Structure 1
Amino acid sequence: MEYYSLLPTMGEPEIVHAAVPGGASVLELGCGTGRILRPLAALGHRVHGVDESPAMLERMGGLPATLARLQDVRLDRTFDVVLLASTTLNGEPSLRRAFLATCRHHVDPGGLVVFQQNAPAWFDAVTESSAEIAGIRRVVRSALRHGDRVDLVVDYHVGDRTWTHEFPRYAITSRELARNLREAGLRFDGYLTEDRSWFTARPV
């Protein structure tokens, strides 16, 4: 959790802000410490976060939030915008379908769902590597491919502190994405970035 509180934004709030109406109500599923929501609130959006980690939510800076699992949460209101960022969409496929159902449940009939996924080209390119962003050194120690899944072991270094994160990421084809969205009652709307890592969907 401490690592996530150190992460800077990397253009995410600006991408979301440019894609949605001014002053929109925004629900972020998997908001963590509010890394994206705090700048969106500063830009005039009415924000609400959901996360399953109490420790994360304690660092939200007083923004409204709900403690719940993303696949289970059902708030008693809808929002202009639902945000699912941090490549959560590329997790285990059954969870992906549950997350999409949560998105659909909470988006206004005329609203927008904003997604961040691993760029499709990333799955061919990811390999052992090291990079530094804002004083955080990210080392991909292992990237093992198993069909459409990549199992990653990533070390994050800040000063003399190190955090290790092991997790899978699943590639999503355009056809599979369209089917998953359709099954959830959503339709693909368009890409927000050239690398296709950000896109939007609308309720049907």
Structure 2
Amino acid sequence: MEVTADGCSVEVYLLLPPAGEPEIVHAAVPPGASILELGCGTGRVTHPLLDLGHDVVAVDDSPAMLAHVRAETVCARIEELDLGRTFDAVLLGSHLINTARDPDRRAMLAAARRHLAPGGRLVVEWHPPEWFDSAASGQGGQLGEVAVELADVVRDGDLLSATVRYSARGRRWTQEFTCRRLILDDVLTSNDLIFDGWLSADRSWFAARARRGG
């Protein structure tokens, strides 16, 4: 099974179930809201949102991931996306905002903002600052039939690098990542966005709106 450019195993993502994300997004947007999902993977969140009555356009840069998505799809890098249309909500999940490279983050948020309809809401999943203090090798849990474990955690200033180990059905996969600790107000202000509320008790989800034209 194919591995994407950023090290994601398509096979693993087909096994992973949603973990409350669709309900968080659904509660944050109007009933039947149109949603642009950035970084949809195999549709783990897309498909429940469709079932909840939303019109979803799903974006990913992996054709192998998109082949499993039962919605309108767009194969593109988030940073370069310009569909010429807007949505009631834009979803940026999977902690993508914590990308290590500041230019990539600015480009992703610019793409999200230009696709927001007037009054639209940006729904974001992130690693809050306290996660960077508590993350440790050996932490893990179970997502459906997939066991997940964090390993090889290394800190370097605002950066944290680690490996995620997955196991299921007698098989094992790994995915390395590096993410950056963010100051939320600075990130939003520099991208012409304003904070619009926490969406989960652990503050791993928040909403934002465009500062102007919203």
TM-score when scaled to structure 2?
Answer: 0.90
Structure 1 counterpart SS, 2:80: coil
Q: Deviations over 1:152-193 (max 9, x none)?
A: 1121111221111011011112xxx22322232211111111
CA distance in 2, matches of 1:70, 1:199: 19
Corresponding residue of 2:164: 154
1:8 aligns with 2:41: no
CA distance in 1, matches of 2:142, 2:206: 26
Contact 1:23 1:44 in 2 (8 A): yes
Alignment of 1:86-165 (within 5 A): 86-92=94-100, 93-129=102-138, 130-165=140-175
1:65 aligns with 2:73: yes
Gaps of 5+ in 2: 1-9
Contact 1:87 1:118 in 2 (8 A): yes
CA distance in 1, matches of 2:143, 2:120: 34
AA matched with 2:200: T
CA distance in 2, matches of 1:117, 1:96: 12
Range moving further from structure 2, 79-88 or 123-132: 123-132
Alignment of 1:18-97 (within 5 A): 18-61=27-70, 63-92=71-100, 93-97=102-106
Corresponding residue of 2:3: none
CA distance in 2, matches of 1:48, 1:133: 25
Structure 2 counterpart SS, 1:71: helix
AA matched with 2:106: R
CA distance in 2, matches of 1:116, 1:140: 18
Alignment RMSD (CA, Å): 1.1
CA distance in 2, matches of 1:183, 1:128: 33
TM-score when scaled to structure 1?
Answer: 0.94
Q: What is the CA distance between 1:112 and its match in structure 2?
A: 0.4
Contact 1:120 1:196 in 2 (8 A): no
Number of aligned positions between the proteins: 200
Range moving further from structure 2, 183-192 or 141-150: 183-192
Structure 2 counterpart SS, 1:34: coil
Q: Deviations over 1:111-143 (max 9, x none)?
A: 100000013321111111142221211122210
CA distance in 1, matches of 2:151, 2:185: 33
Q: Deviations over 1:2-52 (max 9, x none)?
A: 111111000000001011000000000101111111111111111101100
Contact 2:125 2:205 in 1 (8 A): yes
Identity %: 46
Contact 1:156 1:164 in 2 (8 A): yes
Structure 2 counterpart SS, 1:33: coil
Contact 1:73 1:102 in 2 (8 A): yes
CA distance in 2, matches of 1:180, 1:152: 23
Structure 1 runs of 4+ with >3 Å offset: none
